[in-house]
Structures are given as structure tokens and as C-alpha cells.
């Protein structure tokens, strides 16, 4: 898994906030209020401004992960339960997956939805598909389960495509053989892309180590997401590879946890979930948009980090929801703007550059006619 997290209680919330903000009494009294106060990535990625254009309505994001706790107050009404493809039962389930789902489509809770975690696309639907185990799940030691899990990502991608997913979010990698990839996964990725489904995956947390390629992020066509910190510098753990498409916040990320609690963690998992949310915003705004155009909107809409250039750590800069939506809409606006000029055939607005050529031809014809009359005389 690519998320380094620690759950926090009410006391821990106060301790975590002490070094970052001066919290009003309400924050100390409610973990949900504390969680909302710590959602710094939303402003960094231009999410509140993006909500003026889209909130992910009508889009289904398949979350291939450890399962999602649909009972969490921040995810009430947002989750559709899919299959458990791990064959591992229900022990140690839904912690990591719930965190990622909340960053994508959390709706908050309480009066006006002002408490808890709100996701990038709060009106999108999460389709939960369990394809991997929690890091500390004892079932990982079971050879039978290990065999089942090894092929679960490929099966999960196909199941998501066949059941209406518009976006597939995969905040996973770095274990279960994912450093090498597999033919089944590669084929499933190609199948999803051919059906117009956007695939997003975490780039991996091996940047401070061997920096090995991580799958499914490294498959062609997948939007691979690295992590930046609050200063928009590359997170030390984030993989630095040529397949990194874009980056997003991945340190000090507050998200929902199973059983109604919250968690703070670091990892490219969170970064990928944020970008999956941006993809949902774009798909909701432009339902017929193809995979390559959604990808282009996210990459071209990214903003320069403090590095000021494209490299293996940043990919195509830091993802921005508002700018992605504007880029996605730009081709349509440009087409509408040029259509009247293309239809016009009269008046001074018509200037194609062919006028001088036409006059030259006419003068040549007149000269030829004059010469012919002169010869007859």
C-alpha cells in the first residue's frame, strides 16, 4: 500500500493542530471540525473554485483498495458496495480504502456538511472494489490468499469497467508483485482505456529507497501521481520516475477512517485519490470526453511547482482542479468562437489571404486579352 497513516483520537487532534493552527474551541471539541480545518490540499489544488463548475455529479469512481466503510458519516449515501476479490474475508478491512474514498467523494457531515472530510468531487459516487489487504492484515501470510490477491487488481479493473465506472482510482502498488506488473494487469488496463475509462494510480512511496517502478502506475495510459508537501516540494518518499504524470499533495493529509474516525497520513496514495477526484470533476462537466482529453486537461491544467520545470519528481507539475476544468472546456469554446467566421462568406470580416492571388490572376487575364487584341490589329 502507498499510504503511511496514523489514526487520531480527540486528544491527538488537539496535539496535531497545536503546531499548525490556532484552533477555536469548536475544533477542540469535535474531531470532524479538526479534520475540516486540516484540509489544506483543497485550496492548493483550486478545488473550491472548481466547485463553481462541477462537483462530480453523475460520475462513478471505482476505488480499488481494501474496501470502504460506507457507514462513515462523511460517506453517507456516496458508496456502492462492489465485490471482495481478495478471498480474505472481512478482517482488517476498509481502513485505507475509506481514507481514499473520502478524499475523492467525501461529503462531510453535520449542519450544512461543515464537519468532517469533504472530497474533491463530493457529488460523485464511489464504487468500492476490494483488491488488496491492509498492510498489517495477518491474512497476508496465507499462501492461498496471496495467490488470490495477486490477480485481484486486473479482475477489479475489468469488473469496474463492466459495471459503469467512469474513473478507476488505484492508490496501491509496491507489494504483491506490483514492482514487475503482469500481463493480466496490462491487458486489463488496455481494456479500460479502450472503453473510455480514466485510470489513476499512485506513483509509489519508494523514492527514498530503491525507487523501483510501481504498477499499475507505470502502465502506459495510466495517470501516475506523485506527492508534494505543503511547500509544493517533492515529498521525499515519492517515486521519481519517467512515468510520473502529475503530482498532488501527499503529506499531512487528513482523511476518514473506518468506524467513523479520522486519520492523518503521508503517501502518494492520497495524491492519486485527489487526482481521481479531479478526473471526476472533468467527466461530470464533459460527459462525452475521452480518456486522452481528460488526461490532457489534468496535465495541461497543472500549475508550476517551485521547481519551475518538468522532471521525474513532478511530472507535469502540480494538479489543479479549476485549471483542469478550464482546459477541458477550452477546445469547445474555441470551436464555437471560430464557427461564425468559418460560415461567413461576405463582408469585411472575411480575410483568408487569397485576395492578392485573385487580383493577380485577373490582371494576368486582362493583360493576355489586351495582347491578343493588339496582335489582331
| Contacts of residue 219, Cβ cutoff 8 Å, sequence gap at least 6 | 181, 185, 186, 189, 199
The label of the residue with cell 467513523 reads 260
Handedness of CA 233, 321, 328, 168 (dihedral sign): positive
Backbone φ and ψ of 239, nearest 5°: -60, 140
How far is Cα of residue 164 from the mean position of the Cα atoms in its chain? 18
Q: Is 96 known to be catalytic?
A: yes
Q: Of how many residues is the chain composed? A: 377
Write out the E strands in the chain.
Answer: 4-8, 60-65, 79-84, 107-109, 115-118, 125-130, 167-170, 198-202, 223-228, 244-249, 253-256, 262-266
Catalytic residue among 245, 269, 270, 305: 269
Catalytic residue among 72, 92, 95, 96: 96
With beta carbons less than 8 A apart as the criterion, state whether 188 and 165 touch.
no
Residue 6: exposure state from Cβ atoms within 10 A (0-12, 13-18, ≥19): exposed
| Contacts of residue 20, Cβ cutoff 8 Å, sequence gap at least 6 | 38
DSSP string, 134-161: -TT-GGGG-HHHHHHHHTHHHHHHHHHH
Strands 125-130 and 79-84: parallel
C-alpha 153/C-alpha 175 separation (Å) is 12
With beta carbons less than 8 A apart as the criterion, state whether 1 and 94 touch.
no
For 289-296, the CB contacts below 8 A with 24+ separation are: 289/328, 290/196, 291/193, 291/196, 291/197, 291/198, 291/221, 293/328, 293/331, 294/198, 294/328, 295/198, 295/223, 295/245, 296/327
Q: Is 191 known to be catalytic?
A: no
Catalytic residue among 65, 74, 176, 266: 65
Q: Is 95 known to be catalytic?
A: no
Backbone φ and ψ of 35, nearest 5°: -60, -45
Catalytic center residues: 65, 96, 269
Amino acid at each position: 500500500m502507498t499510504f503511511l497513516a496514523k489514526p487520531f483520537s480527540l486528544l491527538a487532534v488537539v496535539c496535531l493542530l497545536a503546531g499548525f493552527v490556532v484552533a477555536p474551541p469548536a475544533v477542540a471539541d469535535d474531531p470532524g471540525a479538526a479534520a475540516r480545518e486540516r484540509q489544506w490540499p483543497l485550496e492548493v489544488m483550486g478545488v473550491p473554485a472548481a466547485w463553481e463548475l462541477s462537483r462530480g455529479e453523475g460520475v462513478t469512481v471505482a476505488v480499488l483498495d481494501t474496501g470502504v466503510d460506507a457507514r462513515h458519516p462523511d460517506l453517507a449515501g456516496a458508496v456502492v458496495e462492489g465485490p471482495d476479490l481478495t478471498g480474505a474475508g472481512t478482517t482488517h478491512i476498509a481502513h485505507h480504502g475509506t481514507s481514499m474514498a473520502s478524499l475523492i467523494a467525501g461529503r462531510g457531515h453535520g449542519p450544512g456538511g461543515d464537519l468532517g472530510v469533504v472530497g474533491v468531487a463530493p457529488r460523485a459516487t464511489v464504487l468500492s472494489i476490494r483488491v488488496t489487504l491492509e498492510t498489517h492484515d495477518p491474512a497476508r501470510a496465507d499462501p492461498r490468499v496471496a495467490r488470490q490477491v495477486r490477480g485481484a487488481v486486473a479482475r477489479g479493473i475489468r469488473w469496474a469497467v463492466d459495471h459503469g465506472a467512469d474513473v478507476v482510482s488505484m492508490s496501491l502498488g509496491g507489494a504483491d508483485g506490483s514492482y514487475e506488473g503482469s500481463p493480466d494487469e496490462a491487458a486489463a488496463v488496455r481494456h479500460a482505456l479502450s472503453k473510455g475509462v480514466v485510470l489513476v494510480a499512485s506513483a509509489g512511496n519508494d523514492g527514498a529507497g530503491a525507487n523501483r517502478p510501481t504498477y499499475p502506475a507505470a502502465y502506459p495510459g495510466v495517470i501516475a501521481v506523485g506527492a508534494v508537501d505543503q511547500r509544493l516540494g517533492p515529498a521525499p518518499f515519492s517515486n521519481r520516475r519517467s512515468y510520473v504524470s502529475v503530482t498532488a499533495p501527499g503529506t499531512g493529509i487528513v482523511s476518514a477512517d473506518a468506524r467513523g474516525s479520522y486519520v492523518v497520513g503521508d503517501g502518494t496514495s492520497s495524491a492519486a485519490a485527489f487526482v481521481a477526484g479531479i478526473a471526476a470533476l472533468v467527466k461530470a462537466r464533459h460527459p462525452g470526453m475521452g480518456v486522452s482529453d481528460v488526461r490532457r486537461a489534468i496535465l495541461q491544467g497543472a500549475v508550476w511547482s517551485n521547481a519551475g520545470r518538468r522532471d521525474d519528481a513532478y511530472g507535469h507539475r502540480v494538479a489543479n482542479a479549476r485549471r483542469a476544468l478550464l482546459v477541458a472546456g477550452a477546445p469547445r469554446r474555441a470551436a464555437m468562437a471560430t464557427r461564425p467566421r468559418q460560415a461567413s462568406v461576405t463582408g469585411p470580416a472575411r480575410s483568408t489571404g487569397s485576395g492578392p492571388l485573385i487580383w493577380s490572376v485577373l490582371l494576368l487575364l486582362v493583360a493576355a486579352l489586351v495582347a491578343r487584341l493588339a496582335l489582331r490589329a
